[in-house]
């Protein structure tokens, strides 16, 4: 069975180079700093190898055999610069995050570029490896790795031996990280109520193990769809033999404005054809005042980020967030599958980030986030290519790693795309200098712009399922 969050690092799967968690678009997902604080170099009582089971049980009554590190206020700790010193600043244990390690371990993780060969030490899965075991994949829409995990699921179905490829099954729940059993008949994730999301996980998992570990002919596979996914907004479980669901087709909206898409009250729109002329939307990104992560598809960040769906309108009051929305939909649309965003951008900085967020806007204006992603511009050509820097005034095309969701936008709702240059501390801040970033304490303000015209057709492509 494939557990949620399977795989960390940057192994390649399919057309993009992120299998999991450490990087997203070249930006560090800061959850791993908080996670490693309690994981690296754990200290616990040691016992001789011939210690009897009875003695171990007796010792467990006297010792907590699981390390409990002192609590940290991660909402403050993750702001420390340079990033490589965060662990030291919270008096965390020495270890692989930032300390010099033996060469055969690949060295400190925060110093590794996304294409560092060290990521492949220890068996990190990537697309020239084969998985040839039956798989039961559990994922959730508000977890950090749902998109890469779905790509990995499809990769195994395409590359495993035929009989094994046919034994890959997935469940995608509308919950936070590893929170399946919290899904009651009136589930709220963040602030959004998404209905009755209950599922008998015990029956599914024990039945799976009975079939493949005990060899019982219990008929579970005959009753199990290849993909079982929960559609938010519609608030019901659905099934499909593929992901995206059978019959899904792309629908494209183009970004447009009169040059003032800044904030919720700006003039940014999503339309069905690119505008004729370019009226670029400009904003200043100050890494000392980044856009704060508010909800989202996260895990393991302590009190720094609360995951899930939250009304984004208070965030959209910031002038460094561009807001593009459709007109109210005349008919409901089910979006189930990847969401791809291509932007044409410019900056006066040598390097900067661009972030996007997909939003479901209710008739009363409530704006719930669905998924989000980021692209560090130095890696815009891919991790397998040399890093590149930006030239002031030059326009660059960048396609961000796909987002993914299953959400029904009811009639009267609007589809919204936010664009900015930070989502912190979900992702580390780009200090915009073009330097190493992890060892820097001072940033520069980047004056960034998003372009949209027939020549520069910035777009969002959603996956629509028609029933």
- Written as tens digits, the pLDDT of the chain (467 aa) is 544 443 444 456 655 566 556 889 999 999 999 999 988 877 777 889 899 999 988 888 887 767 778 999 999 999 999 999 999 999 998 888 898 766 566 678 899 888 887 877 765 667 777 889 999 999 999 999 898 889 889 989 999 999 999 999 999 999 999 888 777 788 999 999 999 999 999 999 999 999 999 999 999 999 999 999 999 999 999 999 999 999 999 999 999 999 999 999 999 999 999 999 999 999 999 999 999 999 999 999 999 999 999 999 999 999 999 999 999 999 999 999 999 999 999 999 999 999 999 999 999 999 999 999 999 999 999 888 899 999 998 999 999 999 999 999 999 999 999 999 999 999 999 999 999 999 999 999 999 999 999 999 999 999 999 87
Say yes or no: 417 and 307 in one domain.
yes
Residue 54: inside a domain, yes or no?
yes
Same domain, 319 and 440: yes
Instruction: For residue 372, give the CATH number of its domain.
Output: 2.60.120.260
Helix or strand (DSSP H, E) at 159: helix 146-159
Of 109, 171, 182, which Cα lies nearest the Cα of 146?
Answer: 171
Identify the pLDDT of residue 4: 42
Asked if residue 12 belongs to a domain, the reply is no
Specify whether 268 is located in the same domain as 405: yes
CA dist., res. 225 & res. 466, Å (int): 19
pLDDT for the residue numbered 105: 63
Q: Is residue 179 part of a domain?
A: yes
452 shares a domain with 334 = yes
CB count in 10 Å sphere of residue 231 = 23
The answer to whether 59 and 47 have CB atoms below 8 angstroms apart is: yes
Q: Do residue 107 and residue 208 come from a single domain?
A: no
Q: How many DSSP H helices and E strands does the chain contain?
A: 8, 20
Same domain, 83 and 218: no
226 plus 257 within the same structural domain: no
Domain presence at residue 376: yes
Quote the radius of gyration of the chain (alpha carbons, Å): 23
Q: Do residue 86 and residue 147 come from a single domain?
A: no
Q: Where is the domain boundary, 240, 259, 274?
A: 240
420 and 323 within one domain: yes
Give the CA count within 13 Å in the CB-facing half-sphere of 160.
Answer: 18
pLDDT value of residue 5: 40
* Burial classification of residue 375, based on how many CB atoms lie within 10 Å of its CB (0-12 exposed, 13-18 middle, 19 or more buried): buried
Q: Is residue 14 one of the residues assigned to a domain? A: no
Number of domains in the chain: 3
Closest Cα to residue 194, out of 136, 142, 248?
142
Identify the pLDDT of residue 141.
97
- Of 115, 125, 151, nearest to 403 (Cα)? 151
Residues 177, 26: Cα–Cα separation, whole Å? 22
Structural domain includes residue 282? yes
- Per the domain annotation, does 13 fall within a domain? no
Question: Within this chain, do residues 412 and 288 fall inside the same structural domain, yes or no?
Answer: yes
Query: How far apart are alpha carbons 431 and 422 in whole angstroms?
Result: 10
Give the per-residue pLDDT at 145: 87
End position of a domain, from candidates 113, 137, 156: 113
Asked if residue 10 belongs to a domain, the reply is no
Identify whether residues 49 and 134 lie together within a single domain. no
pLDDT at 9: 47
For 259-326, the DSSP string reads S--BSTTS--EEESS--SS---EEEEE-TTSPPBP-SBS--S-TTS---BB-BGGGGGGSTT-EEEEP
Its sign, for the CA torsion 45, 51, 56, 62, is negative
Q: Which domain holds residue 416?
A: 249-465
Indicate the pTM of the whole model.
0.93
Query: Which of residues 190, 216, 240 is at a domain's end?
Result: 240
Residues 397 and 306 in one domain: yes
């Amino acid at each position: 069975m494939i557990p949620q969050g399977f795989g960390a690092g940057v192994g390649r799967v399919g057309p993009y180079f992120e299998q999991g968690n450490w990087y997203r678009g070249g930006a560090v997902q800061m959850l791993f700093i908080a996670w490693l604080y309690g994981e690296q170099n754990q200290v616990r009582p040691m016992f001789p190898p011939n210690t009897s089971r009875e003695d171990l049980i007796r010792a467990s009554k006297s010792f907590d055999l699981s390390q409990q590190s002192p609590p940290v206020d991660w909402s403050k700790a993750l702001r420390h610069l340079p990033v490589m010193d965060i662990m030291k600043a919270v008096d965390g244990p020495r270890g692989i995050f930032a300390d010099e390690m033996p060469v055969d371990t690949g060295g400190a993780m925060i110093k590794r570029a996304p294409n560092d060969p060290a990521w492949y030490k220890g068996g990190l899965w990537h697309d020239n490896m084969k998985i040839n075991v039956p798989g039961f994949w559990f994922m959730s829409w508000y977890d950090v790795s749902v998109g890469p995990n779905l790509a990995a699921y499809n990769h195994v179905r395409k590359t495993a031996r035929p009989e094994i490829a046919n034994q890959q099954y997935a469940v995608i729940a509308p919950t936070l990280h590893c929170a399946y059993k919290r899904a009651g008949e009136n589930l709220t994730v963040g602030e959004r109520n998404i209905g009755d999301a209950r599922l008998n996980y015990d029956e599914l998992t024990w039945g799976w193990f009975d079939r493949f570990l005990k060899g019982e002919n219990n008929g579970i596979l005959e009753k199990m769809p290849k993909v079982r996914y929960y559609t938010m907004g519609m608030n019901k479980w659905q099934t499909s033999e593929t992901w995206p669901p059978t019959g899904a087709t792309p629908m494209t909206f183009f970004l447009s404005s009169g040059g003032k898409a800044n904030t919720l009250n700006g003039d940014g729109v999503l339309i069905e054809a690119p505008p004729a002329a370019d009226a670029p939307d400009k904003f200043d990104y100050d890494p000392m005042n980044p856009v704060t992560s508010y909800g989202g598809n996260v895990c393991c960040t302590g009190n720094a980020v609360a995951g899930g769906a939250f009304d984004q309108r208070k965030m959209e009051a910031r002038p460094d967030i561009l807001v593009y929305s459709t007109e109210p939909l005349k008919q409901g649309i089910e979006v189930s599958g990847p969401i791809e965003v291509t932007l044409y951008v410019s900056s006066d900085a040598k390097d900067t980030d661009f972030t996007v967020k997909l939003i479901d806007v209710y008739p009363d204006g409530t704006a719930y986030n669905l998924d989000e992603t980021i692209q560090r511009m130095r890696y815009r050509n891919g991790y397998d290519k040399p890093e590149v820097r930006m030239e002031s005034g030059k326009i660059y095309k960048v396609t961000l790693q796909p987002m993914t969701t299953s959400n029904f936008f009811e009639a009267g709702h609007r589809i919204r795309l936010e664009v900015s240059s930070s989502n912190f501390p979900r992702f580390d801040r780009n200090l915009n200098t073009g330097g190493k970033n992890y060892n820097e304490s001072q940033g520069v303000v980047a004056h960034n712009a998003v372009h949209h015209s027939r020549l520069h057709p910035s777009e969002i492509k959603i996956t629509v399922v028609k029933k």
